[in-house]
Amino acid sequence: MRIIGYSSPSFSDTISFYRGMGPLSTMAKQHNMMVHYMSGFNWAHVRQLSCLFMQRPYRAADREILVETKVSNIPIWVDYDDLLLEIPTSNPAYFEYTRMGVKENIEFFIKYADVVTVSTPFLAKQIVHLNPNVVVLPNAMPLDMVPYRENECGERAKMIYWRGSRTHHQDVMEYQEPIREAAAEMPDWLFNFIGDNLWFLTDQMKHEQALVMDAMPIEKYFSHIWRIAPSACIVPLHDSKFNRAKSNIAYLESIMAGAVCIAPDWEEWRHPGVIHYRNKQELKDAIKMVGSGSIDVRKTTNEAWQYVKKHFALDVINTRRQQVLERLLA
């Protein structure tokens, strides 16, 4: 039996769900392998492994793990979902990833990994000079967790939703004016903000129009956004290398929920079911387009869901992930 060691700052966060324990656990069920979360590292822990999977390593302790594993001649697979070398100053994690030595650590992990997997082509281009063996594995939707999506979407609610955390404050601040203006011109529509209260925007909206919800476990979140039947998901992103490297998880979730996705006109977001914007006015126009009914949301998202299942289903991407593993172990 193959034993995949798993090293990560978090065992059960959203990144692990999409890129770590989530896909690896699915692979373990389908192949003769086991994923072992590493609670300690010395030769006794490492020697049992077929390979070591490191999810977004950046700490000095992670560097020691890589060195110990290299000494034992165990293949190392490193994965990144974000461009951690370009953390914006507005991001709450800025100080964590800009501490002395962290950038050098990240470059070290990329350089000495046997294979590096990333979520987007843009991210791959930013690090390939450090290691030519970089493979793009897009984030994907685990279809077995959303069986209800096989039903075609019903009537859509007059609702626009946003999902995120305080890491997106700069993004929403940049586009708060067109969002607020669109809401004011759509008084019978509800704007649902999931994961953060975005006080600088929601305090300026009509109280009954801005619904703020706390973050929730991802399995509950999936069923929630399906159940509320939104018409659109807005993805305001300011233009930066960090955001250009960001994956389209919001798109996958939006189409799963039966909502069109309003996102920037960048490579990562050019898929069926997306309404693109290139500036503030176009973001407002896109929201108003949904509000006016000029786009058939149900038809658009049902067709886009077939596209997601073909290109972004977890089983599809895991086929490529398994190929990465086979080459690594060969």
Q: Give the whole-angstrom CA distance, residue 172 versus residue 170.
A: 6
The domain made up of 144-311 has a fold known as Rossmann fold (3.40.50)
Position 41 scores a pLDDT of 78
Alpha-carbon dihedral angle through residues 55, 53, 100, 81, given to the nearest 10 degrees: -30
pLDDT tens track for 148-176: 999 888 899 999 999 999 999 999 999 99
Residues whose CB falls within 8 Å of the CB of residue 118, separated by 6 or more in sequence, listed in order: 79, 80, 81, 124, 127, 134, 135, 136, 137
DSSP 152: P
Inform me whether the pLDDT recorded for 311 exceeds 90: yes
d(CA 227, CA 230): 9
Least-confidence region, from 33-42, 80-89, 118-127, 193-202:
33-42
What's the confidence (pLDDT) of residue 143?
A: 97
Query: C-alpha angle with apex 252: 251 to 255, nearest 5 degrees?
Result: 80
Copy the structure tokens of residue 104.
């050098």
List pLDDT tens digits, range 184-237.
999 999 999 999 999 999 999 999 999 999 999 999 999 999 999 999 999 999
pTM of the complete model: 0.96
Q: What is the pLDDT averaged over residues 270-292?
A: 98
- Say whether 170 sits in a helix, a strand or coil: helix
In this predicted structure, the answer to whether residue 321 has a pLDDT above a threshold of 90 is yes
- Tell which residue, 229, 225, 158, has the closest CA to residue 187: 158
Give the DSSP letter of residue 95. Answer: H
State residue 10's pLDDT score: 87
CATH 3.40.50.2000 assigned to 2-140+313-329: yes
Mean pLDDT of the region 316-329: 97
DSSP annotation of 49: -
The burial class, CB within 10 Å (0-12 / 13-18 / 19+), for 19 is: buried
Q: Tell me how far the alpha carbon of residue 315 is from its chain's centroid.
A: 17
Question: Can you give the pLDDT at residue 192?
Answer: 98
Task: Check pLDDT > 80 for residue 39.
Answer: no
From 17-26, 147-156, 260-269, 281-290, the region with the lowest mean pLDDT: 147-156
The pLDDT of residue 44 is above 90: no
Q: Two tokens at 244? A: 């250009």
How far apart are alpha carbons 226 and 112 in whole angstroms?
42
Confidence of residue 84 (pLDDT cuts 50, 70, 90): very high
Give the Cα separation of 330 and 18 in Å (integer).
Answer: 25
- Listed by start position, the domains of the chain span 2-140+313-329, 144-311
| pLDDT value at 145 more than 90 | yes
CB 279: neighbour CB atoms within 10 A? Answer: 12
Same fold, 2-140+313-329 and 144-311: yes
Q: Is the pLDDT of residue 11 over 90?
A: no
Residue 83 pLDDT: 98
Q: Which two tokens stand for residue 194?
A: 């999931």
Which of 148, 139, 150 is closest to 314 using CA atoms?
Answer: 139
Give Cα 266 distance to the centre of its chain: 16
Question: What was the pLDDT predicted at 153?
Answer: 84
Instruction: Let me know: does 251 contact 237? Beta carbons within 8 Å.
Output: no
pLDDT at 152: 80
Retrieve residue 327's tokens.
């080459």
What tokens does 230 get? 């939104």
